Amino acid sequence: MSNKTVFLLRHGDTGRQGCYIGSTDVPLSAEGSLQIGRTAGILQQENITRIFCSPMLRCRESCERLGLCCPREYHDSLREIDFGRWEGKRFAELAESDPLQVDAWAKDTENFRFPAGESVASFRQRVAACRELILAAPEPRLLLVTHGGVIRHLLCLMLGLPAEKYLAFDVQPGSFCSLQVYSDGSVLTGFNLKS
C-alpha cells in the first residue's frame, strides 16, 4: 500500500535554455509562466496537501502561478546546484574557455567542485535532505517545486538508481513527475506530465 503520492514540478522556462543556471536568481519567461498556467490545471485536481518549494525566484513564481491553497514551505535544500563561475554559460563555451575543468568534471563527477561554486558531493547531500523531507512529512500528497538537477538526482535516490544515472531523466521545464512512495521504495507513475 502506498504511503504517499509525491509530485516533482520543475519551474517553468526562464528563456535561458542551454545555459547553466543554478544560483542565478532569474524570473520565469512569458513562456514559462504560460507553461505553469497550463500545468496548474492538472495539479489543481490532485488534492495536494502540502508544498515544499525552492526559494529561488523562478520556483516561487511557479508556485504562485499554480494557485494551490495548501501549506507552503521554502527549503534551501531544494535549490539548484551553484555552478560558480560557469553560471550563465553554455557547455560549448566552457569546453573552449575552461577545458581542463570540463575534463575533470567528466572524469570524476563525484569529487568535482564547480569553479567558485558548489561541489557535486555537497549538492547530493542536499538532495538526500530533500528525500528525508518527503519521507518525514505526514501529509499524503506532496508537491515539490524545484529545479531540473534536483529532480533528476531525487529520482535516482527515490528509485534506488546509482547517482551517476541522473542524466537518464530529461526533465522538461513546466512539467512534473509523480511517484508513489512506499516504506520500502518508490514507483515512478508519471514523467514530464503537463497540459
- For residue 28, is it left (φ>0), alpha (ψ between -120 and 50) or beta? beta
Report the pLDDT value the prediction gives residue 166, as an integer from 0 to 100. Answer: 94
Q: CA 12, CA 35: separation in Å to the nearest integer?
A: 6
User: From residue 80, how far is each of 13, 59, 67, 76, 122 by CA, in Å?
Assistant: 14, 10, 23, 9, 12
**Residue 1: predicted pLDDT:** 47
* Domains of the chain as residue ranges with CATH: 4-83+119-193 (3.40.50.1240)
Taking residues 29-39, report their average pLDDT: 97
Average pLDDT on 33-48 reads 97
Mean per-residue pLDDT of the chain: 96
Q: In the predicted model, is pLDDT for residue 39 greater than 50?
A: yes
Q: What pTM was computed for the model?
A: 0.96
What's the average model confidence in pLDDT over 148-171? 96
Average pLDDT (103-120) is: 95
How far apart (Å, rounded) are the C-alpha atoms in residues 169 and 121?
19
